[in-house]
Amino acid sequence: MTGGDSNTIGDVWSPNPVNNEQSASAYRKAGIVMMFPALRGGNDNPGVHEGFLGEVDDVLAAAAYLAKQAYVDPDRIYLGGHSTGGTLALLTAEVSTRFRAVFCFGPVADIDGYGGRFTSFNPADPREAALRSPGRWLESVRSPVFVIEGAGGNIDSLLAMRGATHNPQIRFVPVKGADHFSVLAPANRVIAQKILADSGAATSITLSATEISPQ
């Protein structure tokens, strides 16, 4: 799940600079099947942007489609997202155990953190905001989730969520020497190799800040 307008998919194939590698090319280079789903209201899709609500259903529908493909192991589907895509990935993990593991780069704890961008709901209705704020639903996570962010990025949300839950399924990985963008390339290289080796009955993936530090 890409950042920004995560409903709409643009060019995710062209090379990106190493300090802002948003194409997640490490997985493709490792031979891992990648899917970038366009969601409701994005590209030529029907519907409208709901801002982190119905889009969760779209992510799960994309995973269901992916699982039916002959070249995909339905028991080894992972979900990842960066920025707004990380927020959406975390919300999805809070309502579903469909994914073997979920990797959320730089999500916000509270949807208000976007200052009205990327949202399309009535801000006067606090329930609308609460439904879209993953920091409120961390105890609902029932499968492995990694929340990753550079110390120079959206680190306040990571720290707030880490302090708000003792859910053992969620691992928080703050990375020194990285920001919201430079954390992507080193982390994805490490995660790709761990996915290739993750062949047991349940995921054995662990992840530490030391492993993915860009320094």
- Measure the CA–CA gap between 175 and 156, rounded to whole angstroms: 13
Q: How far is CA 98 from CA 56, 77, 92, 128, 140, in A?
A: 12, 8, 9, 25, 14
- Measure the CA–CA gap between 22 and 32, rounded to whole angstroms: 16
User: pLDDT (tens digit, 9 = 90+) per residue, 4-56?
Assistant: 999 999 999 998 999 999 999 999 999 999 999 999 999 999 999 999 999 99
Which pLDDT belongs to residue 214?
A: 77
Q: How far is CA 127 from CA 9, 94, 115, 134, 136, in A?
A: 29, 17, 17, 13, 11
User: pLDDT (tens digit, 9 = 90+) per residue, 160-200?
Assistant: 999 999 999 999 999 999 999 999 999 999 999 999 999 99
- Measure the CA–CA gap between 108 and 59, rounded to whole angstroms: 18
The whole-model pTM stands at 0.97
Does residue 119 have a pLDDT over 90? no
Q: Are 82 and 2 in contact (CB under 8 A)?
A: yes
Q: Which CATH class is domain 21-212?
A: alpha beta
User: pLDDT (tens digit, 9 = 90+) per residue, 73-116?
Assistant: 999 999 999 999 999 999 999 999 999 999 999 999 999 999 88
CA 198-101-77 angle, 5° bins: 75
